[in-house]
Structure 1
Amino acid sequence: MKLLLFCFILASLPVLLLGIISYGKSAQVVRMKVSEQKALSLRQTQLGVEETLKVADQAMSHFFSSRLMISVLTEPLRPDQFQLYNQVRTELTNLQRLDTGIEEVRVWSVAGNWMITNEGLSRLDAWTQSHPEARIPELAEVTVHRPAGDASGAGESGCGSYLLLQKGLPLTAYSSIGMATVKIPACRLNEVFTAEEQKEPLYLFDDQGELILQSGNTNPQLDDAVGKTAAALAGADGKPFVLKAGREEFAVNYLVSEYNGWTYVSAVSLNELNRNSREIGWFTFYICLGLLLLFILLAYLGSRKLYRPIGNIVKQVMAGQAPPGSGESKDELDFIGRQVHFLFDAKKSLEERLSGQGELLRSFFMIRLFLGGLKEEEVTGRLLEYGLNADLRSFCVVAVQTGNLEETRFKEEDRDLLLFAVNNIIGELVPADRRLEPTVLGKTQLTVITAPDADHPEEEMYRIAKQIVKTHAELLELPVAVGISLAHSGASCIPRAHDEAVEALQRRAAFGNQPIIRFADLGESHALHDRYPRKLQEELFHSIKLLEREQSEALALTLLEQIREAYPVLYDRQFQYVRLLVNLLALANSIARQAVPPEQQQLLIDQLFALDKEDAAADWFMEKAIGPLLDSMEEQSEVRHMAIAKEMVRMVHEEYDTDLTLDTCADRLHYQSGYAGTIFRNCMGMTFAAYLARHRHQVALQWLKETDMPVKDIAAKLQYNNPQNFIRSFRKLEGVSPGKYRDMQADEEEEA
């Protein structure tokens, strides 16, 4: 039953959502279309009213611009000028045609002291005395449209109000000597204003917000509400709005005329607008109801088939190892739900653990970045993964060490805690988009600071270094020393930049222990010498891959002894120990598939820096790094595969100057070449051809350094088809030709 209900709900929700959205959208479209129709009808009404006014205005302008009217304004119209008066009276009568809508025209002449109306000619001063209540328009008034009561009654048309159109005469004169007034009955405009079968209220207001005309069904509350808002509509944006009148709401459309500033308003009840929407709503309801009934039937039939795989899932979960506290449940969906919740809880717990290790991962990544050995594309991917700034077009490494603590409030045992504080301060001082993760390595705090847009990045770094020194002096009253590397570009240059920054710190005594030393201050002749025994490390790793424990221990002792001799300064030596440790951890991850947790990696690094005896490093490496790595490889790797790879390596070392191939080795070992190649690649981390080419290259380097054998003979012995192929391959790996490499080695021996 629950499965049936679930299927029904799952099927009905889309139908209900579709119905609701369809109804809402259709109702919106209907309201929009009706609103557009009302706006169009209102626009047509406006055009009709303005057309009537413009016809009257044009007829009036044409008549009063005639020579007859211009000449008669200055005449006194005495009885002997009856013919002139008769011409004017005839023209005024012709002006009052049906198409113009003009009922009466009145003309005043101040210069001639007369007034002509439909009643005849009167002297202006006599008419004014006999009609004291009447008002003669000011001569300054021009083209004014407004409603007014008729002082003389309703007029011939029977309208209770009319519109006055006034013009100063002459029309083209700067100062008027007369005035013409045209009276248009308001009911004449009402013929245009009222549309056929007009039911909705329609209003016309003048530029002062006074009602001129009204048509349609009357509603006192609506009339009052529209009248109160009419004055404010003149400056509005013209968008429709909703107006509440009593308990009913109306959609109001309005237009403000640019011709005379009048406002045309129409109002339609929202109930009327929603009538069509309700019809659509009922239609949508019936469709959705039919679909729901159909889905009920489909859900009933489908749930019977759906239960079968659900039952199978329950059986499989019960057959496996159930999570703690799952128990038994009669509700299969509830049982599956609890198992899913258990998985989500486990996922959340795992994410929380990974989040807690995020900082350790970033710190260890930065240590590997400073030590070198990471590829450019790998660095870019990790930077994006850890959310660090990947723009390394221009950067410097800034190294910070705490100064002498004797004259401060701190003790020597506080130095580690102070380095942690220094790391946090620099993290807050330098914006995150301008740096990588601040890291503490031994007794030094290291930060990669970028300056991709700076014209002089060294100067920018010097400014930041001064701020670092100042901030620590103010906050902790702690003297710090800052070393700044040269500006570099690309992730592959970070190890060198690190060495430059540390080298600058180590040489600060030569500059009077200044707080800030740039590597550039050491002079152009000062160069870094990487004395790390890389070749011996490769031999050690090669021995570890072959599981030669005794030889690995001997090589490790030799490697540590060479590091001790090459780096007499304790910090430098510790840093190289960390480099060896990181490389061993990377080897464990790639060969033995033994990933060391980040917190364990950080613990190993801290232990290295804490070694207080000179000869303790060898025992520590054998106990903590090399020994466990060999044990893991012996446990996880198949000894037979390693023996096969070891034999193939022996063949390469003994027969590199012959036409040795993978097929030759596989035939001797009685294996197929593909199988032997896979074993070799899994054990050695590279293909057989790559290993053979690398060994021949190492032999070539040794011969060029230790013998005078010609280059062409070396190429022939190493099975190159011609010397040019050898030279091309050598230049690709070393960056110089074989002859140039031999000369460089000879110069280094002479300098030594």
Structure 2
Amino acid sequence: MKIRSPRFLIRLFLFSLALGTLPVSVLGVLSYHKSSAMIEDKVAKGNQLNMQQTQQRVEQILRAADTTATHFINSALVASAINMKLVPEQFQTVNGLLLGLHQLQSFELGIDDIVLVSFNQGWVLDNSTEVLRLSDYREAEQITRYKQAGKSTFWASTASGEQVHLVKKLPLNSVNPSGLLVVKFQSEEFARLLAGSSELGEVMIVNEAGGVLAHSDPSPGWRADGYEEAMKRVLASETPVGSFQTTGNDQAAVVFRKSAYTGWAYVSIGSVELITQDSQVIKWYTYTICFIILGIILTLSWIGSRRMYRPINRLYRDLQAEPDLRPIGHADEIGYIGHQVRDMLGTQTNLKNMVARQRFQLEELFMIKLYEGELSPREIGEKLAAFNWDRQWMHVCVIAVQIDTLRETRYEEIDEDLLLFSINNIAEELIPLPRRLKPVVMHRKQVNLLGCAAGEEERFKSMINELCAELKLKVGQFLELSVTFGVSRFYGSISEARLAYEDANEALKYAIRMEPGSVIYIEDAEPEGTQLARLPVTMERELLDAVKLADEELAKERLAAYLQGIFQEKVSHREYFVPLTSLLLALVRLQQTLGDEREADGKGEKSLIDELYNLKTVKELELWFWHVLIHPLINRLEGLRKKQYARISDQMLAIIQSEADTELSLEDCASRLGYHPDYIRGVFRKEVGVSFSDYVSTYRLKKAKDLLTDTDMKITDIAEKLHYTNPQNFIRYFRKQEGMTPGQYRELQRKKE
């Protein structure tokens, strides 16, 4: 049988591996993602905090400049001068204004220039100490746009983006301003403030139109072309604070804050890869630990799976080595074992059902053998236990029922067996189960064995009378027949059922002088002292069996017991010779079956009987039976048996030697020779000294060694030729017997040659 691959081992290993790796893998992935999310959240919160600090730092300067400018324009000097014509005569006013402008332009605030404009008088004054006409001023158009703006104070940037302007109208909150103060900041100053936040990535300030006012990268080549989409999302956001990630090849993390003071947006754009750099370290550390754990789990799973699989594999291979078990396909080891176990259980169930169906026949067979005296007390006890017939009886008797006549009835002779079985069924229904064994039909009679415990003899006799009367009534009622009952003496055990059966039969012989339908007790019909001829029948049969077995010791023992059983009865001298003559005739008949005719040597049955009647003592009887009859019979039987054993063993050896390379079995040999397999098994072992299977295996091994030495046949071909179950079985058996494999044996023989 072909050995399958260890499917269950693979499944067990994969299951164990999955059971160990799945939690570790899930734990590793979840740990990484959780730690990454926590790190990214902390980074985002840190960026927001840094962005807030940057905003506060920038707007602190802006608010300081705004506050200073507000104080300046609210001064009396500015309020009076804004409506004056600044002519040379007003040089003191001009000097006062210039001094105020110079005081506003401090280095700490990063103010680049300050412009004071009077719309009513049309002049412009800046840090150049020169009073210019508004119409001639280079930024007159920008001043006009600022005047038209709807806000009294606001922030604006130039078209080039190089400057940021704080614009304040005079007077404050006026719909039609008379003047204007413009505080100019260089964008480079804001970039310098943003440079301190470069760890956030690229930080920039974006106005409400999306223009970049300042950037943390002061290099002139920097451009904002790559961030249009991010700027749109920032400006479109309704929340003052937020963050998001851009999509595409270059993912970026964007953090922004919108200023309610200036309307600007402070934006930080950083690489996602840089932000998640720490989480990447954690990822590889986690994955490394997980892979190490997975390697350990892989090793332990394999070792553990093999250890758990070992007994399953042993049972699986033992089942596969059985040639009688049919193979099944597409099943692992557990499926195969389960299938075979179910087959065995099914076979066991079938056998149980078969035994249950045959129990009825077995019970009847047991009862017939019991009545015929073919069972020893030990066998009787075993059978009673097997049938669960636990009967603690101290007295037993047999009731035999026979049909009186079928004449003048509606039945014919052919119906007798059927009628007896009907009577048997009625008896089985009427007699209580604790009081009986199995009723049977034998020798044209229906027979019942009944019993009772100690001290119930009188009640038992009454019950027998009642049962016979009721059974007679039921048979007459249902079958319209008359039956007669024969009742035996009471005996002390079930093992004496044969004697009770003979009593019941003897009682029925007296029916000829009785009325039909009588109940005949043997004790009433037969006189005392006529039992001796029947007593030693069982012993006689056992003695003859010992002679047939050619067992001298057993024959001597049973001969002595037979004679003792006869002479312990106190009867007349002539009655002793009735069973002795019966034994003599039985031994003579046995001699004749063996071809030993007494007439040939002048001693016939008559002369032997005369010799028997002339013997005076029990010892003489024993010696005479032994030397004259039994011992010669045993010698002849032993000689015939040896010849027969030798002939059978020679025939079996010839069959083995000629057919060793076939599927030879003991049953085949028994069928050819015409004997039972159990018989020739014992004969072969006795004559050859080994069992049939051992001899066949040894002979096949010898042939295998010859083939290994004399031919180049493959080992698998040799195993197949000699009908081994599979090559592995052949190799194992060869190594067990020879101490080496077939291949090693072949090499050794070739080296010797």
TM-score range normalised by the length of the shorter chain: 0.3 to 0.5
TM-score by length of 1: 0.38
Structure 2-normalised TM-score?
Answer: 0.38
Q: Which of the two has higher C-alpha Rg?
A: 2
